C-alpha cells in the first residue's frame, strides 16, 4: 500500500468531486435547508426534507470548516441549513420532527431519536464553527431531550405492545458513543464520562455476544438476553463495523490499547462473517441462526456499510499495525471504487444488488444524504496521512494520546 498516494485519492474525491456536488445541488436558495432527493446528475426529484439528513449536512460542512480549512462557502452552507433547522425542525421544545415539506411545515412527528442525535451533532459543530452561542444552547437542550428519551426513544409513537416482548436496539448506544466526542466541548465532563462508560458497556458487554463473536441488533429490554425473533436474530454487519471505529476513537480518548484491540478483534470477525464470498461486498442484514430474513433488501450492498467498514479497518491498522486489517481495507478499497463510484457524475451510488450492479442510480434520498460518503472519504484521507507519517498508537503514551486526540477526534 502507498498511503500517500491513497490519501491523495480520497482527498481529491472529497474536495474536488463530492463536496461540490452537494454545495451546487442540495442547497435550497428559496426556503433554506437542503434537498436530499437527488438524481444521478444532481437534479431534484422530491423536495421533502428529512431532519436527520438536514442535521448531517450541517454537521458535515461545519466539521470540515473546523478541521480542514476555513472556507466561507462551507460555513455559509452550514449556517443556512442550521437556520432552517432552528426555525422549522422542532416543535418549540426541541422535539425534532422526522420530516418537513420544502417550506418547513411538519410532515412526520418526532418519533425518531436520530433526528435528535444529528441535530445535536449539527449544532455542536456549528457553534464551534460560527462562535454563535445560540447554536450551542440548541445542542445542549437537544442532548437533554435525548437523555430523557433513552429508555423509550419512540415514546408514544412506539408501535410495540407494552410488556409482551420488550426489546432494545443497538443503534442508540452506538450513535451516542460517537455523539459524546462531538459535544464534549459543551457538556459537563462528569456527564460525558458517565454516558461514555454506559455506552461502552452496552456495546461491548450487552449487544456484543461473546459466544457468537458478533454484535446483535436487539436484545431483551428486561434482562439483556438474546431474543429468538426476527428482530432478535438480526445481525447488521455495517452497524457493528461502524460502531467499532467509534469504540477505537474512545480507546484513543481513554488511552486504552486494550479497548482498541478488542474493537478490532470484533471488527475483523464481523467482516469475515458478513462478506459475500460469492459476489464480494458485505451483506446488509443477516440472521444469526441462518434463518430466512424478514428484510427483503438483506443481500443488497449499501454504500455506508462499505465506507464505515473501510474506516474501521484503516483505523485498526493505523492504531495496532494489524496486517489483517490492512488486507481488508485494501479489499474494500477495490470493491468501493469499482462498484460505488459513478464513472460519469460526482458522488457515489448507494444501492447495489448482490452482484454489485447498481439498483438505484440516485445520489440521495430519504436515507442517503451528504454524510457517509464525505465523512468516509475524510476519515480515510486523514487516517492514511497518519499512516504515512507513521503516527501510530501501537505503544500509547500521554504524548501520542494527545497527538491522536488532536488529529482524530
Across the strands, what pairs with 136?
none
Mean pLDDT for 160-178 is: 91
Mean pLDDT over the full length of the chain = 94
What's the pLDDT at 154? 78
Is pLDDT at 407 greater than 60 in this prediction?
Answer: no
pLDDT at residue 403 in the model: 42
- Domain 1-30+164-409 and domain 32-156, same fold? Reply is yes
Give mean pLDDT, residues 363-391: 96
**Res. 391 pLDDT band, cuts 50 70 90:** low
Beta-ladder partners of 208? 215
Helix (H) or strand (E) holding 106: strand 106-108
pLDDT band at 380 (very low <50, low <70, confident <90, very high): very high
pLDDT surpassing 90 at residue 7: yes
Q: Does residue 192 register a pLDDT over 60?
A: yes
What integer is the mean pLDDT of 21-46?
Answer: 98
- At 364 the pLDDT is 98
User: Hey, what's the torsion of the CAs at 197, 203, 204, 206, to 10 degrees?
Assistant: 100
**224-229 contact pairs (CB < 8 A, 24+):** 227/165, 227/167, 228/289, 229/165, 229/167
46: enclosing H helix or E strand: strand 44-46
170: its cell numbers? 443497538
Look at the domain 1-30+164-409 and name its fold. Glycosyltransferase (1.50.10)
DSSP lists the bridge partners of residue 37 as: 46
Whole-number Å distance between alpha carbons of 135 and 124: 7
| Closest alpha carbon to 239 in 395, 382, 372, 96 | 372
pLDDT at 77: 98
For residue range 309-326, what is the model confidence (pLDDT) as tens digits?
999 999 999 999 999 999
pLDDT for 151 equals 81
How is residue 233 written as a grid cell? 436474530
Give the mean pLDDT of 200-213. 97
Q: Where are the domains of the chain?
A: 1-30+164-409, 32-156
Is pLDDT at 158 greater than 80 in this prediction? no
Q: What pLDDT score was predicted for residue 153?
A: 80
- pLDDT band at residue 408 under the 50/70/90 scheme: very low
In this structure, the number of other CB atoms found within 10 A of the CB of residue 135 comes to 27
Residues 6+ apart with CB under 8 A from 35: 25, 26, 27, 28, 44, 47, 49, 364
- Residue-level pLDDT at 392: 54
Q: Which CATH architecture has domain 32-156?
A: Alpha/alpha barrel (1.50)
Query: What does the pLDDT look like over 247-290, one tens digit per residue?
Result: 999 999 999 999 999 999 999 999 999 999 999 999 999 999 99
Contact 102, 31 (CB under 8 A): yes
Give the model confidence (pLDDT) of 92-119 as tens digits. 999 999 999 999 999 999 999 999 999 9
pLDDT above 70 as % of the chain: 95
Name the region of 218 (left: φ>0; alpha: ψ -120 to 50; beta: rest): beta
Q: Is the pLDDT of residue 79 over 80?
A: yes
Please say whether the beta carbons of 348 and 342 come within 8 A: yes
Q: What are the cell numbers at 66?
A: 473546523
Amino acid at each position: 500500500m502507498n498511503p500517500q498516494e491513497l490519501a491523495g485519492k480520497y482527498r481529491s474525491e472529497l474536495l474536488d468531486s463530492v463536496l461540490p456536488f452537494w454545495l451546487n445541488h442540495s442547497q435550497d436558495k428559496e426556503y433554506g435547508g437542503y434537498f436530499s432527493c437527488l438524481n444521478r446528475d444532481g437534479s431534484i426529484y422530491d423536495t421533502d426534507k428529512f431532519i436527520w439528513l438536514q442535521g448531517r449536512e450541517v454537521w458535515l460542512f461545519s466539521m470540515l470548516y473546523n478541521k480542514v480549512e476555513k472556507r466561507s462557502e462551507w460555513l455559509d452552507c452550514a449556517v443556512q441549513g442550521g437556520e432552517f433547522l432552528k426555525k422549522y425542525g422542532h416543535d418549540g421544545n426541541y422535539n425534532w420532527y422526522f420530516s418537513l415539506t420544502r417550506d418547513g411545515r411538519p410532515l412526520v412527528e418526532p418519533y425518531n431519536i436520530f433526528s435528535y442525535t444529528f441535530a445535536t451533532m449539527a449544532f455542536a459543530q456549528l457553534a464551534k464553527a460560527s462562535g454563535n452561542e445560540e447554536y450551542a444552547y440548541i445542542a445542549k437542550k437537544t442532548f437533554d431531550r435525548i437523555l430523557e428519551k433513552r429508555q423509550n426513544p419512540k415514546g408514544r409513537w412506539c408501535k410495540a405492545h407494552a410488556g409482551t416482548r420488550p426489546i432494545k436496539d443497538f443503534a442508540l448506544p452506538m450513535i451516542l458513543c460517537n455523539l459524546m466526542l462531538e459535544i464534549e466541548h459543551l457538556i459537563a465532563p462528569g456527564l460525558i464520562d458517565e454516558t461514555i462508560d454506559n455506552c461502552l458497556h452496552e456495546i461491548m458487554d450487552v449487544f456484543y455476544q461473546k459466544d457468537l463473536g458478533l454484535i446483535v441488533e436487539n436484545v431483551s429490554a428486561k434482562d439483556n438476553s438474546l431474543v429468538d425473533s426476527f428482530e432478535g436474530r438480526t445481525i447488521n454487519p455495517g452497524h457493528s463495523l461502524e460502531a467499532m471505529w467509534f469504540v477505537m476513537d474512545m480507546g484513543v480518548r481513554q488511552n486504552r490499547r486494550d479497548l482498541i484491540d478488542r474493537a478490532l478483534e470484533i471488527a475483523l470477525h464481523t467482516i469475515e462473517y458478513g462478506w459475500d464470498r460469492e459476489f464480494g461486498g458485505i451483506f446488509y442484514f443477516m440472521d444469526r441462526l441462518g434463518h430466512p430474513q424478514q428484510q427483503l433488501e438483506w443481500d443488497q450492498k449499501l454504500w455506508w456499510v462499505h465506507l464505515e467498514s473501510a474506516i474501521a479497518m484503516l483505523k485498526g491498522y493505523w492504531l495496532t499495525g494489524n496486517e489483517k486489517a490492512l488486507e481488508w481495507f485494501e479489499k474494500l478499497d477495490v470493491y468501493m471504487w469499482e462498484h460505488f463510484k459513478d464513472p460519469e457524475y460526482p458522488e457515489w451510488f448507494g444501492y447495489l444488488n448482490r452482484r454489485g450492479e447498481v439498483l438505484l442510480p440516485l445520489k440521495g434520498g430519504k436515507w442517503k444524504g451528504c454524510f457517509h460518503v464525505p465523512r468516509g472519504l475524510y476519515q480515510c484521507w486523514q487516517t492514511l496521512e497518519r499512516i504515512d507519517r507513521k503516527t501510530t498508537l501501537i505503544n500509547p503514551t500521554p504524548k501520542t494520546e494527545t497527538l491522536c486526540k488532536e488529529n482524530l477526534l
